[in-house]
Amino acid sequence: ETGVTQSPTHLIKTRGQQVTLRCSSQSGHNTVSWYQQALGQGPQFIFQYYREEENGRGNFPPRFSGLQFPNYSSELNVNALELDDSALYLCASSLGLAGAQYFGPGTRLTVT
């Protein structure tokens, strides 16, 4: 059984640029949730994908968008990066909406 993987591990971008983060869900899991974790804070829910459809969004602007592919892997795209977007981005997969979440190791994004 393969766990949740995320790429890249670290990323440095300049304000105004765009970034794509990737998440491979655990084998058999069809649900992916994305979280942003600022330093010293708990993860904050961005959005969730279930069977390739967005299934809910947290309090994040439209420049945060995502995709889920037929193999249930997922992407998080952030346009027009701002300094405050600097954070650890976590994805978690689960089997179904009510299933336990399994987290990836995260992508550390730094915006300068």
Stretch of 12-20, 34-42, 64-72, 75-83 lying at the interface with another protein (CB under 8 A): 34-42
Do 23 and 73 contact (CB within 8 A), yes or no? yes
Angle value at C-alpha 69, between 21 and 26, nearest 5 degrees: 75
Closer by beta carbon to another protein, 2 or else 59: 59
Per-residue binding letters, 68-107, with another protein (x by CB under 8 A)? ----------------------x-x-x--xxxxxxxxxx-
Strands (E), the chain: 5-7, 10-13, 19-24, 31-37, 44-50, 53-57, 64-68, 74-78, 87-94, 102-103, 107-111
Site for another protein in 13-32 (CB under 8 A): 31
User: Contacting another protein (CB under 8 A), which of 25, 26, 30, 48?
Assistant: 48
Which H helix or E strand runs over 73?
Answer: none
Say if residues 75 and 64 touch (Cβ distance below 8 Å).
Answer: no
Q: Which region among 10-18, 44-52, 61-69, 72-80 touches another protein (by CB under 8 A)? A: 44-52
Residues that bind another protein (CB under 8 A): 4, 31, 33, 35, 40-45, 48, 55-56, 58-59, 90, 92, 94, 97-106
